[in-house]
Structures are given as C-alpha cells and as structure tokens.
Amino acid sequence: MYMNLLVTAGNARAYIDQVRCLTNIFTGRTGAAIALEAYERGHTVTLLTAHPETVRELIGKSWLKKARWRQRKYDTINDLHQEMEKQFLEGDYHAVVHSAAVSDYLAAGIFAPAPGTRFTEQSTWHADVGETATLVDRSAGKVKSDEAELWLRLVRAPKLVDMIRAEWGFRGILVKFKLEVGVGDDQLLEIAEKSRIHSQADLMVANTLEGASSWAYVGPVAGQYVRIIRQDLPAKLMDAVENLR
C-alpha cells in the first residue's frame, strides 16, 4: 500500500547575530536518500531540508514527478518548527522520518564582562572591591570584535520530535534518529531505546559519530535492533516502515 511520507533532513541554524550562527556538521544527505528511496517505491514524499542541492547531487539529471514529490527548504529551527506544524495541520501523512539534526540550544544573548569583572581559574565570577560582577549585553546586528572575550548565553530549543505526537497529534509511523559520540554499541542501544520510547517513536535509527559513515542500527525490527551497513540504510529503513504499515 502506497503511503504519504514527511521526511526532515539537514542542519537547522541558530543565529547569534545576522551573520553568525550555531549549527552542526550534518548535510541532510541521509534524509534525502531515504526520501528518494521512498519515492522510488511509489510513495508520495514531502522533504523538508536545509540542503536541497543534496537531492540533485543524488539523482543527477533525473527528474521527479511533482504529483509525488514536494520539497521545502528551511534555514533556522524556527523555520523548521513552523513548516512541520503547517505540514501536520494541512497534510495527511502515514509516516514521518525525522532525520533533521536540530540544534539543542538557541542563542539568547551575547555578553562581555563589565570593567572590573573577570572570570577566574576556579570557574567563578569575581569583581573588584566594592563592585558587583556584571555582564554587559553586546548583542547587535553584527557583534563587534573588539572585546577581549565574549560570553554566549544558550537556552534550550524546542524538541520538535517530541511535539510530533504530543502537540501535533500525529498517530502514524514515526522514525527518530539518535547519534552519540564515544560510546560502545551496548550503551548506544540503551540510550537509543530510551529515547525512542520517550518520543513515542515506532522506529529508531541510531549510530555514533565515529561509525556514521559505515553503519547504523535500526530497530526494533522483530523485537531487536539490526546493524546495517550505511549504503543499505535507506532501503532497510523503508522495509521496516512498510512492514509497520
């Protein structure tokens, strides 16, 4: 049975000022490959991506039928938030593959120590006698580069994957992605399964930064996580999604 899928891919930016941002190293290639695999199987796909050029790199000069392929570009976390909310309000999706690497934090101001205030080797703030340790707001369209040091305040970004069920009421198949650094397989799978349950996802794709180019785990499939070589991930994941349908 053919499905209507929503796939998110790429890295969402969190701007510090109008020319600088926080982001990550991910290009959206995996999400684009999964979206194209679904399309090749006859499903209808909407791809939300920070890197639409990746699709062209994967398919070359081939073209995609507009009746079954839609693509939207996003830049910031807020862009992706709004686009996902719109898709859930207007679309009728059977499955969602949320592979976008959304930043965990947003910039909430950039500050410099006031005269007489300094940060000590004991990781505490210190002020001159009679003064109070103070930070001065240096936020601007383009933050000046004449300060000896700047301090960036970060606040938690909304967890979009957790909003899919709880706020947007999606009841179809949900696929979540989890990446860890410097952990072994057992710890990775323990973290991944707890994360999957927390977000009420049906499937989890889990890997480590060290192994990201070579393999990933997908699960639970028949009650367990299966290790898959990277180039087979789009096909194996779509097999798992179709089996749940």
Residue with tokens 């349950």: 197
- State the average pLDDT over residues 203-229: 95
* Domain co-membership, 126 together with 80: no
* Domain co-membership, 82 together with 168: yes
Partners of 97 in the beta sheet? 7, 175
Cα 89 from Cα 83, distance rounded (Å) = 10
Q: What are phi and psi of 119, to 5 degrees?
A: -100, 125
Instruction: Please report, for the domain that includes residue 38, its CATH number.
Output: 3.40.50.10300
* Domain co-membership, 136 together with 172: no
* Domain co-membership, 80 together with 112: no
Residue 158 confidence (pLDDT)? 92
Decide: 60 and 37 in contact? Cβ < 8 Å.
Answer: no
Residue 67 confidence (pLDDT)? 92
Residue 131 confidence (pLDDT)? 87
Number of domains present in the structure of the chain: 2
Q: Please give the C-alpha separations between residue 30 and each of 23, 121, 168, 197, in angstroms, as whole numbers.
A: 17, 43, 25, 23
* Domain co-membership, 87 together with 201: yes
- State the average pLDDT over residues 199-221: 96
Q: Which domain holds residue 88?
A: 4-104+158-244
Q: What is the mean pLDDT of the chain?
A: 94
* Domain co-membership, 183 together with 203: yes
The pLDDT of residue 25 is above 90: no
- State the average pLDDT over residues 10-34: 92
* Domain co-membership, 88 together with 175: yes
Residue 130 confidence (pLDDT)? 82
Pick the closest to residue 227 from 245, 210, 205 (CA basis). 205
The pLDDT of residue 218 is above 80: yes
Q: What are phi and psi of 96, to 5 degrees?
A: -130, 130
* Domain co-membership, 55 together with 86: yes
* Domain co-membership, 190 together with 200: yes
* Domain co-membership, 100 together with 115: no
Residue 212 confidence (pLDDT)? 87
* Domain co-membership, 145 together with 38: no
Q: Which of 154, 181, 214 is at the close of a domain?
A: 154
The pLDDT of residue 61 is above 80: no
Query: Under DSSP, is residue 37 helix (H, G, I), strand (E, B) or coil?
Result: helix
Q: pLDDT for 93-114, tens place per residue?
A: 999 999 999 989 999 999 999 9
* Domain co-membership, 100 together with 111: no
DSSP state letter for 76: B
Cα 15 from Cα 75, distance rounded (Å) = 10
